Each structure stands twice: as C-alpha cells, then as structure tokens.
Structure 1
Amino acid sequence: MYGQLDILINNAAEQHYRHSIADITDEQLERTFATNIFGMFYMTKAALPHLKPGSSIVNTTSVTSYQGQPELLDYSSTKGCITAFTRSLSQQLADKGKHPGECRGPGSDLDTPHPRHLPKAKWQTSAPLGAGQPSEVATCFVFLASEDGSYYTGQVLHPNGGMPVNS
C-alpha cells in the first residue's frame, strides 16, 4: 500500500582508523557522528509518521558497541549511541506498536579488510566461526521485520560467529 512504510532499516556507517585520539580531527568526528547516528536519528524521525502499528525499525550497529576498538574511537562511540538510541526508542514507541531492534554482526564491519591496519586473517579469526557473510546476517533483518519478531523490541541480536559480547 502506498503512503506507508512497513520496515525501516538503518544501515550506514563510516569508520577511519586512527592510532590516537589526537589524530581524530574535528571534521572526522563530526562526519562520523553525522553518518552513523545523526543520519539514523533523522531517518527514523522522518519515517515515523509513515510507519503503521506492527511496523519494524532495524538499526545496524557493531561489536565495537560493546567491546570498543582502540583504532576506531569515534566509530565505536557512535555504535554505542546506536544501542542506547534503539533501546530508548523502543520504550518510547512500545505503546504505538512499532518495534525497534538491532542487528549486528560480521556483515557490518568485520567483512571489510583493512590491510594497512589489521590483516584480513585477524578479522577472520576474531570470531570462533570466522568472518561471516552478509547473507548470514540478513536473516536477522528478515526476522526482526516479520510477524515472528513482533514481540522483540529494543533488543540486540548478535549474529557474529560466536564472538562473546556484553549485552
């Protein structure tokens, strides 16, 4: 049906490896936050009037939300913001029948090789099952947006190949 949305998936990210906080420029910090959290905030705000009861909002974050990453200080900070945003939004929307949730895993940032900083092999072995593929994470998006996921709100699914995280 036109004029409404059933699913909003916020899945955009920007990251820049820096070895020191001193190397993060004001411009980089602002751009990383603008892409990773402000964009999600504004997209959600614009979509809300078009989401009917039973609609889903899926926000993508990263394992760095919980574990941090010393070379990705600004990026990790935005991913923590996404977790707090999702949990707070779910409480705000609970009585409106809209269900925000998160999906994070290897498809968001572990698939991206950064040979100048970390060898691909390190990313592949950081999770017991190795680096995943986007198709292995996509099922979480489908689940959260389906009727089967209708009782999930403000939750984080961890399709990350068995990497222990603090949730």
Structure 2
Amino acid sequence: MNAPHIPAQSQDAMPADEHKMDPAPDWKPRHPGVGKLDGKVALITGGDSGIGRAIAALFAREGAKIAIAYLEEDEDADKTRQIVEEEGSDCLLIPGDLGVKDNCVKAVEETVAEFGKLDILINNGAQQWVDEDFADLSEGKIRQMIGSNIMAYMFTTQAALKHLGEGARIINTSSVNAFAGMGSLVTYSMTRGASLAFTRSMASNLTDKGITVNAVAPGPIWTPFIPGTMQPEQVEDFGSGTPMGRAGQPWEVATAYLFFASSDGSYYTGQTMHPNGGMVVGA
C-alpha cells in the first residue's frame, strides 16, 4: 500500500474535525459484507470520526444497527450517519460529554430505546494532547483526560451491563503507547494503560456470563487526533517512522474490532490486537 503524503497541518481543537483533514482518512470497508453482525446492535463511542467512523461503516456493512456517542462534532457525526445509512442500516446519533456519568447512561438507554437491545459496546471515544511540560500540566487537564479516557469507559460499561447477555461483546480502544510509552504523551499513555488493565480485569469478571472483553491497541493512525494534537511540522508525513514507513488508515484498524465483535473471535477474551505497522511491543 502506497503511503499518501500528509502535509503539515493542525487544528486548534480536541477532538479535531475529520472533514478538515488533508488527505481525508480512509474509512471505507474493502470487502462485501457477509452478515457477520446480522441482527446485532452496536454502540460506538467516539463513532463520529476516525477509527470510530470506520468501525461504524464496517459493522453496518456486516448487518449491525449503529448508535454513535460523541462529544460535539455534529458535522462529522452527520457524515457517519449518512455512511451507515448508505450501507443499508440505521444510525442513532447521541451527543454529550461521556466524562459525565449521566451522559454514559443516556447513551446506553437511548440505544436500547431505539433498537430494543444492545449486543456490542465499543469504548473508543477519547482525547489526546501533548504534555509539553508534565510538571506544569494543570489539574484540570489531567482530570479532563481521565474523565474522557478512563471514567467514560467505566461508566458506559456499567450502564451497558444490564442489557448485555450471553454472547455480547465489549471492545476497548487502547494504544501502542500503553505498551511502549511516550514521553510527550504521558497522560494519554497512562489512560490507555488503564483501558488495557480494565479490559483484562473485566474479561475475567464477565467470563462466567459469556461476555467477552478485548482491546485493540492501534499505533500511528491517520485520525483527527493527529492534527488536533501535534504542531504542523510534526504532522507532516506522520507515521513514516514505523517499520511499514507510513501511518495506518482507520479501515485497517476497524477489521480488528470486527474480528472481536463477530463469532470469529468467540474464543478470545482479555486479549489485545496490535494494528501498528510492525512496531513490536509486549502483548
């Protein structure tokens, strides 16, 4: 796969907007659907853009109805709804800050009210920024990151459990930085380590109920995180330092979520997939 040139760019927002990115991230599924998720209902947090949009498109193609929880990126969310509907499925949009427990409960309950059930929970929504001087990082910023990247996963899972039966799936987004660490992303890496530990612990907790819990730990992927986090010169040719020499695209990550969400992944729980372009890290 040829690596598209990524020019210098940045956005003064987190989460940033996918519709402003150049080039546009590639979310499109590559293969015809075969019904792997027929009759299923999936709630995807952070589903408006990036990896979340790619998951929504792929799951819709495989037959799932989709609910998307997101912060406030209405234009991106509307585009994702259009993508899901063009795949022949239904899509519910649920805006709100998932760092607030009531909004997590609302996302789950609105999904069940709209579609009658919940089969798959994708905890994917998050925020990221560079810790330019960790010693001076404000308490507010630290608490905001923990709320978005840790508490939201816990609150949404709590709310979902009463609706998830045997065979249900929970899939959490972690990161290569949970394993390798990154000096400029201390707070973010810490939260992604927490999502990894949460995954493994909940997998053990829910095994007897027949619910699997797994994680996906992407490497450098071309999503709104990147222009929303980095300086323009850092964004240029993002991902070129990986063994594959390029950033990953969202569609290349979504397939890992589909594996865990479908019957293909029925014998996996507490595990992590690493779509990271060849970066070797501890499992």
The reply on whether 1:127 has 2:256 as its aligned counterpart is no
What's the offset of the Cα at 1:112?
A: 1.6
Q: Does 1:56 align with 2:169?
A: yes
- Structure 1: which 5+ residue stretches go unaligned? none
Give, in whole Å, the separation in 2 of the partners of 1:27 and 1:108: 27
Task: Report what 2:187 is aligned to.
Answer: 74
Alignment-derived partner of residue 83 in structure 1: 196
Structure 2: which 5+ runs fail to align? 1-38, 40-114
Aligned to 1:21: 134
Which range moved further: 140-149 or 9-18? 9-18
Tell whether the 8 Å contact from 2:174 to 2:215 is kept in structure 1 after alignment: yes
Tell me the number of residue pairs that the alignment of Structure 1 and Structure 2 aligns.
166
Paired letter, 1:99: T
Identity %: 42
Contact 2:127–2:225 (8 Å) recurs in 1: no
Q: What per-residue deviation string (whole Å, max 9, x for no partner) do you get for residues 77-103 of structure 1? A: 000001000000000001100001011
Aligned position for 2:212? 99
Q: Give how far 1:128 is off.
A: 1.4
Aligned partner of residue 58 in structure 1, secondary structure: strand
Within 1, Cα distance between the matches of 2:182 and 2:134? 12
Runs of 4+, deviation exceeding 4 Å: 108-111
Structure with the larger helix share: 1
User: C-alpha root-mean-square deviation of aligned residues, in Å?
Assistant: 1.9
Who wins on radius of gyration, i.e. which is larger?
Answer: 2
Residue from 135, 139, 143 that aligns with 1:30: 143
Alpha-carbon distance in 1 for matches of 2:214, 2:162? 18
Q: Distance in 1 between matches of 2:161 and 2:241?
A: 37
Tell me, in whole angstroms, the C-alpha distance in 1 between the residues paired with 2:260 and 2:239.
26
Paired letter, 1:84: A
Match of 2:272 among 144, 156, 160: 156
SS across alignment from 2:168 = strand
